Amino acid sequence: MSGTSNTGDQTFLTLVQARDHLRAGATLDPASAPLVAAVIDYVLAKRSKEVAKQLRRAAKQRRDDCIRQAAEQLEEGNVHAKGLALLTVARRYRASSWRHHQDQISCPDSIRGTVHEHLWIAFKIYPSFPDGIRQIQAIISSG
């Protein structure tokens, strides 16, 4: 029985160390580190409802950051035009390439550095994507 306890203690310490390294931004996209740390917190703390809310909030914030980053790459000048263009690009990507990309663990090299990279992250990290122009405009404007 003590072997199980030692293994559990070691696992706990390993997770704490991993969480701390991720929070420091080690070998992970720093923008994603809070989300990964929230998942580890969930496992460590077993506070499912509160941590799940934090996790959803962090994921939504990351999704919104990706939407703003994607909008910045578009040539359109104002928020309304960027919102319309982004909705069009997002719908086309979801209907085409996303079907092939969604099961990949990391962003495909073929879309890195493009608007699609930000959409891939947004789709991957949060279960829903805004489908209305006002939602998109509010997200773009809030950054």
pTM over 0.75: no
Whole-number average pLDDT of the chain: 83
Determine the Cα–Cα distance for residues 143 and 141; give it in Å rounded to an integer: 6
Q: Is 119 helix (H, G, I), strand (E, B) or coil?
A: helix
Determine the Cα–Cα distance for residues 98 and 8; give it in Å rounded to an integer: 39
Token pair for residue 31? 């923008």
What was the pLDDT predicted at 10? 61
Q: What is the pLDDT of residues 86-139, one digit of tens each?
A: 999 999 999 999 999 999 888 999 999 999 999 999 999 988 999 999 999 999
* Domain boundaries along the sequence of the chain: 2-141
CA-only gyration radius of the chain, Å: 18
